[in-house]
Amino acid sequence: MQEAERGTSLTRCPREKQRTPLAAGFLEREKVITSLLDVGFSDVHVNELLRLRPSPHPQQLLDIITELLLLGLNPEPVYVALKKSPQLLKLPLMHVRKRSSYLRKLGLGEGKLKTVLLCCPQILTMHQRDIDSIVGVLKEKCLFTVQQVARILHRCPYVLQEDPGELEYKFQYAYFRMGVKHADVVRTDFLQYSITKIKQRHVFLERLGRYQTPDKKGQTQVPNPLLKDILRVSEAEFLARTACSSAEEFEVFKKLFAREEEEGSASHVPDNKSWSLDEEAEEEEEEEE
């Protein structure tokens, strides 16, 4: 009988050891669910977050969400950000904290950082060198001030995902071909628009005689339309109110212009133009003095 009892107890031990981690995991999951509900997540959101792929460890999920909430985000934006970019759940907490600190140093305080993370959560997973490259282009190539860079990143966070060379070209197109100054590039969120849309609408107006590149004094022989009336409106409104042209004419132009672009694919702003940014800045300072 004693041997039988020993045998019974021996067979029970492994089963009890198997149940322990399962029970612990269940309790941990329940604790995380309760914590998420307490900070304002709905049942639906909690279930969706726990089903994200790659499947996060419950505590890692809670830690990352807590860190995002501390940055000023509300539960709904956090849910949207994680659904859009579940890779955030793989990030070490220290990485999130360091990246947040770096973004604050760029001028993205709590309110601005909240907006950027909502629009572009990938900013937390990007390589540091990629962010540095974009910031370097804005500061050193385009000569935006620190405050202007902060506003660009806040208002147009997707510039962080652009190719640095293409971003520089977009600015140079605005500055040299369209005569748009730094302050107007920032104020109108110019850099958020695709270079294709910018060039199509600008050149179309130019060929209609409705847009001229300003001279060095900023003067033109015809009044140029406002940038918001060129880029911020729908195509139908652009044609009706700004270009005063038909959709058919614009479609023909776009096809011809695309062919021109293909034939002259190497027609980017010449390198010497980028050097002249410094020269023009010096000239403007001398004129002010």
Model pLDDT, residue 149: 97
**Whole-angstrom distance, CA of residue 79 vs CA of residue 65:** 9
Q: How confident is the model at residue 55 (pLDDT cuts 50, 70, 90)?
A: confident
CA-based radius of gyration for the chain: 28
Collapsed DSSP state (helix, strand, coil) of residue 91 = coil
The answer to whether 227 and 238 are in contact (CB under 8 A) is no
> Tens of pLDDT along 205-251?
999 999 999 998 889 999 999 999 999 999 999 999 999 999 999 99
Residue 16 pLDDT > 50: no
Q: Which two tokens stand for residue 149?
A: 């860079």
> Tens of pLDDT along 91-142?
999 999 999 999 999 999 867 888 888 889 999 999 999 999 999 999 999 9
Residue 255 pLDDT > 80: yes
**Whole-angstrom distance, CA of residue 186 vs CA of residue 144:** 9
Model pLDDT, residue 65: 93
24-47: buried (b, 16+ CB within 10 Å) or exposed (e) per residue?
eeeeeeeebbebbeeeebeeebbe
**Whole-angstrom distance, CA of residue 24 vs CA of residue 126:** 35
Q: How confident is the model at residue 1 (pLDDT cuts 50, 70, 90)?
A: very low
Model pLDDT, residue 270: 44
Cis? peptide before 56, omega within 30° of 0 = no
**Whole-angstrom distance, CA of residue 191 vs CA of residue 156:** 7
> Among 99-103, 253-257, 271-275, which range has the highest average pLDDT?
253-257
Q: Which two tokens stand for residue 215?
A: 């001279």
Q: Which amino acid is at 161?
A: Q
244 dihedral zone (left: phi>0; alpha: psi -120 to 50; beta) = left
DSSP structure class, residue 160: G
Measure the CA dihedral 178/181/185/190, to 10°. 0
Q: Which two tokens stand for residue 67?
A: 């860190």
C-alpha distances (whole Å) from 89 to each of 3, 28, 49, 54, 193 are 52, 17, 10, 8, 30
Per-chain mean pLDDT for the chain: 85
